[in-house]
Amino acid sequence: MNMSKWSWKQVLIVTVVALALISVGRSVLPGGGGKGSVDLTGRGGPGSNSSSSEKGAQVEVPEVKKPTKIVQFNGRKVPVGAGPVAILNPALAKPGGQVGVNASGFDKGARVRVLLSTGKKKTARVVATAKVNRDGVINANFTYPVGVANSAGRQTVTVVQDGSTSKVAKADLSAQSGVGLVTLSDEVGQPGTPLTIDAEGFSPNEAIKVYWGRITGTPTTTLRADSAGKIQHASLRVGVGAIGDNTIILIGTKSKTTAMAPFQLLRQYPMVLTKPFAARGNSTIKIVGRGFAPNERVLGYFGKATGTPVMTMRASEQGTIGGVAFKVPYGLFGRYSLIFVGEQSRASTKAGFAAMPFNPTVRTSTWGGLPGTMLNFYAKGFAPNEAVHVYVQDELVAAFRVNSAGSALAAGTYTIPADAYGKVVFKLRGAKSKGVGTATVTVDKSEGKVHLPPQKKYKLPPDLKN
């Protein structure tokens, strides 16, 4: 463009228009510094009370200017303010719950921050940001943080417009103090089912008692919060409670913070086996089982689940029992039942065993003889080291003791009497096992009358009574 041809009037007009455009641009562009400038960067302009608008950051809490005018309203004196107004819905929050914020009286298109403060602290946490609509209204939501409810003092929500010291609104917030959050890896299971648990809202490093469906008595287990007051991916087994809808309850021992979660408790089906199933007296039968509550005491009853238990055992962390045995009593024959009951869960099951009789085999030192013949007894299959009593027609005539293998060789003595003839049947009975063996001796007829001294009635020695 050939500037030499322009007149001085044309040059003056162009210069004035350029200066006007520059002035207008400064007044509307970000950071222009004009009196009516709007901060769109989120850093705040002149007069801003915060150094950050990032969510979760700690910023200074601005003050709300006190109203200067007092009026009578419905018979009461009330202050009148011309600043923004904020309301909360709901104004009662629980950890992890949503709080709605509605505020009006702000500049159209401005950016505001929602702050949450506790007590008289000078700083607050940024919990939300929003943009003002054309009516000067903002609607925002924020999640009430876990752990804040346990802080001392009241809770306050402050809505502040960026770049302004006068556009501030406050509202009080009530919170459920002492409430934490807990989540489980599963919501259904039997006692003993392994779970993973997460919780928060407790005091740092405090011990946390875990209950199922109750808050008294001995806790199922005790967990410990970390330095942030959280439990993260901790292992836990389902405890004992009423079948059906149930609740897991966590209570901080220091803060008394309580966290609860629903849980569907399924019925237990314990099972117990006896190995071996059948055995003779004084033989050992082992007991193994599963399906009981973790670490609960299991009571074993003989025949019916009343009276004094005949055995007790402790279930493992997995609800199993083992390493327990009993000896079959002597004199017990036939099938019998054992009933096992979980002391806490009251889950029960039945197991059986068979008590087998002793069937000893016996014989005499001779198959036959004449009156006056003295004989001995051979035996095996009796109980170890028990006394064996010898009977003839229900009369005790001899006794001896078998060895640790339940056998005897040439034990005891008996003399065939002078008047004996035909078959003499001996019954050998174990004093403890009650096992009976029989042996028969044939007495030949003598050629005449046999003269033998009369035999004294056999008297059982004290050491052979049992």
Whether the predicted pLDDT of 24 surpasses 50: no
Contact between residue 79 and residue 164 where contact means Cβ atoms under 8 Å apart: no
Where is mean pLDDT largest: 88-97, 344-353, 382-391? 382-391
Q: Count Cα atoms within 13 angstroms, Cβ side, for 333.
A: 8
How much is the pLDDT for 144? 84
Q: What is the CATH number of domain 181-265?
A: 2.60.40.230
Cβ count near 294 (within 10 Å): 23
How much is the pLDDT for 186? 93
Q: What is the CATH number of domain 361-464?
A: 2.60.40.10
Least confident of 118-122, 129-133, 138-142, 253-257: 118-122
The domain at 58-175 falls in which architecture?
Sandwich (2.60)
Mean pLDDT of 316-336: 92
Whether the predicted pLDDT of 256 surpasses 80: yes
How much is the pLDDT for 50? 37
- Is 0.85 surpassed by the pTM of this model? no
CATH 2.60.40.10-classified regions of the chain: 361-464
The domain at 271-356 falls in which architecture?
Sandwich (2.60)
The C-alpha atoms of residue 294 and residue 314 are separated, in whole angstroms, by 9
pLDDT, tens digit, 9 for 90 and up, residues 296-318? 999 999 998 888 999 999 999 88
How much is the pLDDT for 298? 96
Whether the predicted pLDDT of 419 surpasses 50: yes
pLDDT, tens digit, 9 for 90 and up, residues 109-119? 999 999 998 87
Least confident of 29-33, 70-74, 185-189: 29-33
How much is the pLDDT for 32? 40
DSSP secondary structure of 299-341: EEEESSS-SS-SEEEE--TTS-EEEEEEEPPTT--EEEEEEEE
Whether the predicted pLDDT of 26 surpasses 70: no
CATH 2.60.40.230-classified regions of the chain: 58-175, 181-265
